[in-house]
Structure 1
Amino acid sequence: MTLRVSLVAAARSSSRLAERFDDDRPLDQAGWHEVQLVAHTLVPLGAAELRYCSPTPRSRATGNALGFAPMAQPALRDWDMGRWRGLTLGEVTAREPAAVDHWLADPRSAPHGGESMLGFIGRVGGWLDTRPAAEGLVVAVAEPAVIRAALVYALNAPPSAYWNVDVRPLSTITLTGLPGRWSLSLEAGIR
């Protein structure tokens, strides 16, 4: 029995340079336009037996715009960045350069007072491994950080691999397998 879990990256809510930690802004005009452009290619995922989303406004809006009517899952929430929430990496680096260096180098650290990278990857992996172990399809619209964490977990990659995964808006990846035994299938997304 193999489970398929398709993860769809939420549409954009800001330019990539203006992305903020733990951002909960709704979709912007460009995001809505991107959803309209690719919705027809993602329609088959709407047939999933279980449909979830991160509890962020843009993930919920993306899932609803795609016709998934997803259920918000707290375990799929974005990385808890503590006091850095709402700031850009540039802003945090200007204020706390040593803390940013430590955070980037040590996946156990949480100088922002939120979640460590290992804790975040473990939380997302725990959600993945508790999906019903039956044949079928699960779809989840999530923030890019959540999809990166799921990939690192599923592939049993070192935490540093997280920084090498680029998740673009509305890109889709599918993990197939069972708890603790996942394989990756790549599919095209927005460029």
Structure 2
Amino acid sequence: MRRLVLVRHARTSAVRQAAFPVDEPLDDRGRADAAALAGSFRADEVLASPARRARETCAALGLDAVVEDPVLAECDFGAWAGRSLAEVHEDDPAGVAAWMADPDAAPHGGESLRAFAARVAGWLNGQAGRDGAAVVITHGGVVKAAVAHALGAPVEATWRIDVTPLRTTELHAHDGRWTVSRVNA
């Protein structure tokens, strides 16, 4: 059996501002919140996005022997990176509308929701055949896409899943099939 505990990285300025992320550090609150949870996560292995905010979350949580995996990176938001959704909507309302309605749209020049979800699904399918427990420090989008895939939900369901910084989502694989044990706990 494979057990994954997916943890969204701690808070950053982009999280606070509802902005599309860049490779930003944790903010002071994020560092303190993660440090308060140090020692809370134990597993056979620790996997993480290579993003700075994920690495800093691992450090603040006291996690070591971390294996970074680029597949665990957040969606590539292209030209929208570093900007708030409100700013982008003001400049390109048609692009935002297309992005929200069409999982194949990528008006920002980065990944479409479908391409991003396929990347996460491929990683999750590979994890399903493994044994042991892993803590995975990653991004809200990755967690949402993983939950949607585990449930066999359409890619558009990704928009309907909420993931808060430092909250856990737990998935179990039995005979290559995923079950969702908890979300955003």
User: What's 1:39 paired with?
Assistant: 38
User: What's 1:90 paired with?
Assistant: 86
Q: Which runs of 4+ in 1 moved over 3 A?
A: none
Correspondence 1:154 to 2:153: no
Cα pair distance change 1:180/1:156, threshold 3 Å: farther
User: What's 1:20 paired with?
Assistant: 19
**Number of aligned positions between the proteins:** 184
Mapping for residues 1-191 of structure 1, pairs under 5 Å: 2-14=1-13, 16-40=15-39, 42-43=40-41, 45=42, 48-69=43-64, 70-131=66-127, 133-178=129-174, 181-186=177-182, 189=185
Q: CA deviation at 1:188?
A: 6.3
Q: CA deviation at 1:174?
A: 1.1
The one-letter amino acid of 1:129's match is N
The unaligned stretches of length 5 or more in structure 1 are: none
State the distance in 2 between where 1:19 and 1:59 align: 18
Name the TM-score, length of structure 2 as normaliser: 0.91
Is contact 2:164–2:184 with CA below 8 Å preserved after alignment? Answer: no
The one-letter amino acid of 1:9's match is R
Name the TM-score, length of structure 1 as normaliser: 0.89
Q: CA deviation at 1:17?
A: 4.6
State the distance in 2 between where 1:156 and 1:107 align: 16
**For 1:125-147, what per-residue CA distance to the aligned partner results, in whole angstroms no more than 9, with x for missing partners?**
11111127243101110011111
Q: 3-state SS of the aligned residue for 1:130?
A: helix
State the distance in 1 between where 2:133 and 2:49 align: 17
The unaligned stretches of length 5 or more in structure 2 are: none
Is contact 2:14–2:20 with CA below 8 Å preserved after alignment? Answer: no
Cα pair distance change 1:98/1:132, threshold 3 Å: closer
